[in-house]
Structure 1
Amino acid sequence: MENLDASTHITKRHNTRRGRLARHNAPFESPIYHRRKIPAYAMLDDAALRRIEDQADWILHNIGIEFHDDQTALDLFAAAGAQVEGTRVRFEPGLVRALCATAPRQFRLHARNPKNTVTLGGDDVVLMPGYGSPFVSDLERGRRYATLEDFHNFVKLTYAAPNLHHSGGTVVEPTDIAVNKRHLDMVLAHLTLSDKPFMGSVTAVERAQDSIEMARLVFGAGFMSRHAVMQANINVNSPLVYDHTMSGALRVYAAANQCVCVSPAIFAGAMGPLSPAAVAAQTLAEAMVGIALTQLVRKGCPVVFGSFHSTMNLRSGALTFGSPEANMTTMAIAQLGRRLGVPVRAGGGQITASNAPDAQAMQDSAGAMWSTLLSGAHQVWHAAGWLEGGLVMSYEKFVLDLDHCGAMLKLLQGFGTEEEAFGRDAYLETGPGQNFLSTAHTLRHYTTANFAPAVPEGGAFETWQENGAKTADHRATALWQKMLADYQQPAMDEAIHSALTAFVAERKASMPDEWY
């Protein structure tokens, strides 16, 4: 089975009538933009960026990075010229950057449906849903622990959303499945309920290997040896520590030539100093070491320079999101990633500390998303659904965020200045003091000229009041319910589907349930 040419059964599957209909009924009909046409914003000059890079080298030379319970990683770094003392690894200035040099500047992340394959790097932009929430909420059932049904729902919603280009990973934690088995259900869902790129498990080395094996059943071992089809999210235990789970999972994905996203997680004042400059430098230092390790395992392994950072309310200790300090750090990290020469995952997407999809949630999210997309980041995690600092995935906020994703992607296109854009014929058709609504120019472009949100507008006050005075989050409820009702699963070769389900059943049968 694993020697089948992936492109053969992928094309065969997608040419079915069922495959075409699956995407036709999506309520979000905005064009799928993958590429920016306006330049990334450069907040810092070269001198400032060099000072941040020098600070990263200072950290790596004078403080170092610890690798816990991973002798293989320590041996690889020692052989590459690093100074290893116990679990601590220190690097001469410039060494880590040199080790990162074999990572590709951009690469393709192949999807089960070739039409959904994306490029990471260059001018391309890839958006994906929230990640890791143990709770979900909606206006009808309230806040509750996430289940496998919720996981399936969010994979389906993401599949139906053209403004999300990637299925995500642990979109929510299915808490009704044993901890040691739930990765199998999650990867199975990504592979069968969607045909967009996806992420595998990293919570144990054997779970990472299971994820690789399941992907090989779909894409073929030969195809995966040459192409990336999935990603791993490797979180650094900031400050300056890789535990054996993260470094071990990193090595599994790198050995299989699959994409590794290395994401330091620094909350300013807790996992690093308070200033944006210090957070940017520490993020660069921690991420470069992980990227270097991927290249020591397998030169040319595709990587993403990730980050997840936030500020804190220094009076209460609570995390804050969308703050100006965090947003400036996002912009700086994107610049540092371009200089390093690898694709960049933004520090956040539409993130918020709010407990409800309210004005605070959308204000936090809008601020974070603006800085993220203007920074030139190539991949944006948490672009839809995030609440409570990531504890909750909200069904209503998910679809509200989808609208904002569409608007921001439209913004990244800029606007044209060709002759048709100026509408000279419209001026000749009408006259001073007259409107342009019925001109030929308006009629040629009215369906595509402006971004059209999918969440229904409230209308005039009297109409809105007659319809129950529903706020945007209540109007969003009907939309996500319709998206799920209209969902049609993308087709899959029956032999491949049987092999996947058999693999999952066999692996589950081989292990006891572990709930902690």
Structure 2
Amino acid sequence: MELMRNVKLSMFTDEDMQRVHDYSLKLLWENGVNIANDRALTLFKKHGFKVEGSQIYITEKQVEEALSRIPTHFVIHGRNSERNLDLGGGDYGVCTPIGPVNVRTMDEGLRQGTLKDAENLVKIYQASDVININTNNGVETNDVPTENRHLEIMRMVLKHTDKPIYTRLFDYEQMHEAMDMVEIAVGEKLEKGGNIWFAPGSCPSLSPMAYSREVADCIIALAERGQVVTLGSATSTGVTGPIQIFGTIVMQNAEQLAGMVLTQLINPGNAMGYGVAACPGNMRGAKYCCGSPGRVALQIGSIEMGKKFYKLPTRTEPYTTESSLNDVQSGMESYEGSMANILAGADYQLGEIGTLDALMTVSFEKTILDEEITSRLLYIKKGIDVSEEASAVESIMNVGSGGTFLLEDDTIEQMHDAWYPQYTDWNRDIDKIGDDGYRYIIKKANEEWKRRLEEAPETMLDPGTEEALDDYVKAHSK
């Protein structure tokens, strides 16, 4: 019988998590949360909440009612049903970035992103064996007018992927238009009680203890169409949150509870994700710091609150680095943060895969290398078999003292199941690589993303669907 033992990274005891919850309830009732959004305020008043101006006060009972309605898992669909993911139900979603401003490649260096870059990234993600959730905004499309950007990036992503999709946030009307376009592509209505085809990378709070009008509108629009609402917090300790890591976890947990309450007022039972993205502040610059080891503690503790305490699908933010280049610092910080997120038991990511420079830049080469980081960690996440057969006692006795296991039946049968690198290299010959050996892996990554683009199809939509999308974009462009 197979018995698997998995890695479990933990930060809190059960008592610690209960204290986070209790402190959060205190904040929500005694301080309240500010949501300067007329749609949201109308909802809260209609349901009997205490509202003073744009400050909303939420009771323990109101929180518990909302929590009782949220499902413990949800299925996000791709146009290829074999790519559907049950998040919270055992699958792990590896997603891609949302909106870095710049692009970096080994060939061209640093420049601003364009719609063509975003399209190329979607094609690269589509061809990945690791990435299983695509995005419409792997880099910001700086060459497209903002009033039409949502239409162009939705048409582009629907044309070039059949995986589930993540989206950047739009305003209320644009979010509904984006969902209209998904309906055209999938041939199904997006409505309360229906399937989930569309997820935001994050609907973040505006720390401390607030939600912006724009994010509240996104939450409302998504819940009105029955699509998953993934909350989040990009709190920076000592800047937008308390300097204490525990205090920031408390505060952002309160903010997420407020987002859950709002969502459940719109559509009771709407699927939700508990989002994790806080980082310590770099107090030498008073700014968010993607490369600090303190984010490991912040994010493990937060994952435990979402996954273990509330039993909700939980989303994380790995791969982040302060480095502007694919260098040693980038590798250290990306692996460190990804390890914490993946091995702490989260269900899916706001990927930030391939990002550099504190989320401002996406690197085509780092995208490929971060896939390998993920592959390594998912192998570790699977754990080890501790069954009687896996003890290998019979094999050890068969070899005896001083022998070798190279030709043992177990070795021959199972050696291909081990993890092997695709882009890093365990057998390279430094004499053949030459003086430029330190760029060897970057060159392999460069070759891989170019190969994927060369092999990508021109479209993944049938002509009728593509024409319908084109018509929709034309009719709604400004």
Please classify the TM superposition score into its range, dividing by the shorter chain length: over 0.9
Partner of 1:99: 66
Structure 2: stretches of 5+ with no match in the other structure: none
Distance 1:201 1:407, change over 3 A: closer
Q: Which amino acid aligns with 2:94?
A: L
> 2:433–2:440: 8 Å Cα contact kept in structure 1?
no
Q: What does 1:44-443 align with in structure 2 at a 5 Å threshold?
A: 44-68=12-36, 70-222=37-189, 224-225=191-192, 226-232=194-200, 233-338=202-307, 339-346=309-316, 348-418=317-387, 421-422=390-391, 427=396, 432-443=401-412
1:345 match: secondary structure? strand
Partner of 2:450: 481
Deviation string for 1:437-462 (max 9, x for gaps)?
Answer: 34433322222223333445571322
1:363 match: secondary structure? helix
2:179 match: secondary structure? helix
Indicate the RMSD between aligned Cα atoms, in angstroms. Answer: 2.2
Q: Which amino acid aligns with 1:106?
A: H
Q: Which amino acid aligns with 2:27?
A: I
2 CA distance for matches of 1:39 and 1:457? 25
1 CA distance for matches of 2:321 and 2:30? 35
Deviation string for 1:261-311 (max 9, x for gaps)?
Answer: 111220111111111111111111111111211111111111111132111
1 CA distance for matches of 2:435 and 2:393? 42
1 CA distance for matches of 2:436 and 2:168? 45
Q: TM-score, normalised by structure 2?
A: 0.93
Partner of 1:460: 429
Distance 1:337 1:486, change over 3 A: same
1 CA distance for matches of 2:437 and 2:143? 36
Partner of 1:500: 469
> 1:238–1:266: 8 Å Cα contact kept in structure 2?
yes
Distance 1:434 1:464, change over 3 A: farther
2:204 match: secondary structure? strand
Mean Cα displacement is larger for which, 102-111 or 167-176?
Answer: 167-176
2 CA distance for matches of 1:283 and 1:168? 25
Q: What does 1:436-451 align with in structure 2 at a 5 Å threshold?
A: 436-451=405-420
Deviation string for 1:74-107 (max 9, x for gaps)?
Answer: 1222233321001111122342232232111101
> 1:455–1:476: 8 Å Cα contact kept in structure 2?
no
Structure 1: stretches of 5+ with no match in the other structure: 1-35, 512-516
2:30 match: secondary structure? helix
Deviation string for 1:326-375 (max 9, x for gaps)?
Answer: 211111111211322321111x2111111111111111111111111122
Q: Which amino acid aligns with 1:52?
A: V
In the TM superposition, residue 209 of structure 1 has moved relative to its aligned partner by 0.9
> 1:138–1:396: 8 Å Cα contact kept in structure 2?
yes
Q: Which amino acid aligns with 1:244?
A: R
Q: TM-score, normalised by structure 1?
A: 0.86
2:60 match: secondary structure? coil
2:358 match: secondary structure? helix
> Aligned residue pairs: how many?
472
> 1:169–1:199: 8 Å Cα contact kept in structure 2?
yes
2 CA distance for matches of 1:455 and 1:183? 37
Q: Which amino acid aligns with 1:38?
A: N
> 1:107–1:302: 8 Å Cα contact kept in structure 2?
yes
Distance 1:117 1:396, change over 3 A: same
Deviation string for 1:17-40 (max 9, x for gaps)?
Answer: xxxxxxxxxxxxxxxxxxx97264
1 CA distance for matches of 2:438 and 2:48? 67
Partner of 1:14: none
Distance 1:84 1:223, change over 3 A: closer
Q: Identity rate of aligned residues, in percent? A: 23
Distance 1:507 1:78, change over 3 A: same
Distance 1:489 1:111, change over 3 A: farther
> 2:239–2:287: 8 Å Cα contact kept in structure 1?
no
Distance 1:131 1:37, change over 3 A: farther
Q: Which amino acid aligns with 1:159?
A: Q
Distance 1:194 1:457, change over 3 A: farther
